[in-house]
Amino acid sequence: QKEVEQDPGPLSVPEGAIVSLNCTYSNSAFQYFMWYRQYSRKGPELLMYTYSSGNKEDGRFTAQVDKSSKYISLFIRDSQPSDSATYLCAMKRTGGFKTIFGAGTRLFVKA
């Protein structure tokens, strides 16, 4: 079993839809949770960074962490064609050296 599981998709939605992206993990020691967006042939860009459980909102993006269920989510409201990209979840434990990445979910937002 992988430490971080993420459905690779692809996920296709119409413009304006609410998108829900999710990851599950197995290591309860993870405390830092991140979401990255990667456009084709570009490096990943940090979108959201959260510590421990709870919600964090930034514009159209909301990140949720449920440590009891070992489940994290990224919601995108009013999705736009420019949101079409691969979204990677990532997590790290306190004092850990490495960040563990999910496989990435490919999202297509159709105009």
Alpha carbon distance 41, 104 (integer Å)? 14
Choices 13-21, 54-62, 63-71, 93-101 (CB under 8 A): range interacting with other proteins: 93-101
Q: Which residues pair with 89 in a beta bridge?
A: 35
For residue 103, give both structure tokens: 């496989």
By CB under 8 A, is residue 90 in contact with other proteins?
Answer: yes
Cα separation, 89 vs 64, whole angstroms: 12
CB of 26 to other proteins, least distance (A): 17
CA terminus-to-terminus distance, the chain: 37
| Residue whose CB is less far from other proteins, 15 or 101 | 101
Going from the C-alpha of 38 to that of each of 1, 35, 64, 69, the distances in angstroms are: 25, 10, 20, 26
Among 32, 61, 75, 108, binds other proteins (CB under 8 A): 32
Q: What residue spans of the chain are helical by DSSP H?
A: none
* Residue 82 is a binding residue for other proteins (CB under 8 A): no
Task: Report if residue 25 touches other proteins, rule: CB under 8 A.
Answer: no
Any contact of residue 49 with other proteins (CB under 8 A)? yes
Which 50-69 residues touch other proteins, going by CB under 8 A?
none
In this complex, which beta carbon is closest to other proteins, that of residue 17 or of residue 53?
Answer: 53
